[in-house]
A = this chain, B = another copy of it.
Amino acid sequence: MSEILIVGTVAIDTIETPFGKAERCLGGSATYASFAASFFSMPAVISIIGNDFPKEHVELLKKRGINFDGVQVSGKTFHWEGFYEFDMNEAKTRKTELNSLAGFKAEVPDSLRNSRYIFLANIDPEQQLEVLKQLNKPEFVVMDTMNFWISSKKDAVTEVIKKADVLVFNDGEARMLFGTASLVKAANDALKLGLKAVIIKKGEHGALLFTKGKHFSAPGYPLENIKDPTGCGDCFGGGFIGYLAKTKDFSEKNFRKAIVYGSVIASHNAEDFGLNRLKTLKMEDIEKRYNEMKEIREF
In the complex the two chains form, is A183's CB within 8 Å of B208's CB? Answer: no
In the complex the two chains form, is B296's CB within 8 Å of A182's CB? Answer: no
In the bound assembly, the distance between CA atoms of A296 and B182 in angstroms comes to 18
Q: Using Cβ atoms and an 8 Å threshold, which residues of chain B touch A86?
A: 181
Interface stretch, picked from A48-56, A220-228, A273-281, is A220-228
Chain A 170-208 interface residues, beta-carbon cutoff 8 Å to B? 175, 181-185, 188, 202, 204-206, 208
Q: Using Cβ atoms and an 8 Å threshold, which residues of chain B touch A297?
A: 216-219, 297
- Oligomer copy total: 2
In the complex the two chains form, is A206's CB within 8 Å of B205's CB? Answer: yes
Q: Using Cβ atoms and an 8 Å threshold, which residues of chain B touch A296?
A: 215-217
Q: Using Cβ atoms and an 8 Å threshold, which residues of chain B touch A218?
A: 297, 299
Q: Is A129 an interface residue (CB 8 A)?
A: no
Q: Is A113 an interface residue (CB 8 A)?
A: no
Across the interface, A87 reaches (CB within 8 A) one of B181, B206, B223, namely: B181
Q: Is A163 an interface residue (CB 8 A)?
A: no
- Closest B residue to A188 by CB, please name it: B224
In the complex the two chains form, is B260's CB within 8 Å of A226's CB? Answer: no
In the bound assembly, the distance between CA atoms of A88 and B205 in angstroms comes to 17
Take A205-B205, A215-B222, A219-B219 as given contacts and tell me if A299 and B257 are in contact as well, using a CB distance cutoff of 8 Å: yes
> Smallest CB–CB gap between A174 and chain B, Å?
12
Q: Using Cβ atoms and an 8 Å threshold, which residues of chain B touch A225?
A: 182
In the bound assembly, the distance between CA atoms of A259 and B298 in angstroms comes to 12
In the complex the two chains form, is B184's CB within 8 Å of A222's CB? Answer: yes
In the complex the two chains form, is B224's CB within 8 Å of A299's CB? Answer: no
> Smallest CB–CB gap between A259 and chain B, Å?
8
Residues of A within 8 A of B (CB): 18, 86-88, 175, 181-185, 188, 202, 204-206, 208, 210, 215-220, 222-226, 253, 256-257, 259-260, 294, 296-299
